[in-house]
Amino acid sequence: MFARHLVGMATAWLVVLAETVAGYLGLLSYALVTDADPGGPLAGPLLVLIAAVLGLVLLPLLFLPAVAVAEAAGRRRGVVATSALAGAAAIVLAVGYAVAASVATDVPAARIPVATDVPAARIPVVAGFAALAVLPPTVAYALAARGVGRLRSRLGWARRAVAR
């Protein structure tokens, strides 16, 4: 049971890294098309490194609880229902974390010249991006964990059949 969650966590972490690389390439192409500054030579590697650390932090805080809740709630349901439940649980957790971070880092408006620069004013945008960003790793985690669980049950059946 533990091995399937390790495989799911590794899969989710790789999807987080793939999203980061795709996002960086999109930003780099946008900068090249608009003749903007593409950043320094370490911008890409540092972004991937930060995303790797953040992905490791999010594994036990977001992806594992979301998949565990989905598996408990959708015990007798199919793969699609379990993945959808995991995605919904991850969105709720991600939005909660994004709102908490936005409120915790709120800077008094007196120190900021423009009122829209207050981080708490961007809660819907931050929460929306967080919700969209956690869906692919969560679904990948749920599918990988379920696949390993099915594979282990089939291997156990094959071992019992050979032992007879």
Quote the radius of gyration of the chain (alpha carbons, Å). Answer: 20
Q: Is 159 or 128 the better-scoring residue by pLDDT?
A: 128
What is the structure's pLDDT at 88? 92
Residue 107 clears pLDDT 60, i.e. is over it: no
DSSP state string for 62-75: IIHHHHHHHHHHTT
- At 163, the pLDDT band (50, 70, 90 cuts) reads low
Question: Mean pLDDT for the chain?
Answer: 82
Q: Is 30 or 123 the better-scoring residue by pLDDT?
A: 30
What is the structure's pLDDT at 14? 96
Domain range annotation of the chain: 2-163
Q: How far apart are CA 66 and CA 68, in angstroms?
A: 6
Note whether 95 and 124 are within 8 A (CB). Answer: no
The first and second tokens of residue 82, run together, are: 């379990």
What is the structure's pLDDT at 32? 92
Residues 112-147, buried b or exposed e (16+ Cβ, 10 A)? eeeeeebeeeebeebbeebbebbbebbbbbbbbbbe
**pLDDT, mean of residues 113-134:** 68
pTM: 0.79
Residue 110 clears pLDDT 60, i.e. is over it: no
Q: Which residue has the tokens 């156990």?
A: 156
Helix axes 123-163, 79-104, angle to 10 degrees: 140
Q: What one-letter code names the amino acid at 57?
A: V
pLDDT digits (tens, 9 = 90+) for 34-57: 999 888 889 889 999 999 999 999
Q: Which residue has the tokens 């969105």?
A: 91
CA distances from 38 to 16, 24, 42, 46, 146 (A): 22, 10, 11, 14, 41
What percent of the chain is modeled with pLDDT above 70? 82
**pLDDT, mean of residues 80-101:** 86
Residue 112 clears pLDDT 70, i.e. is over it: no
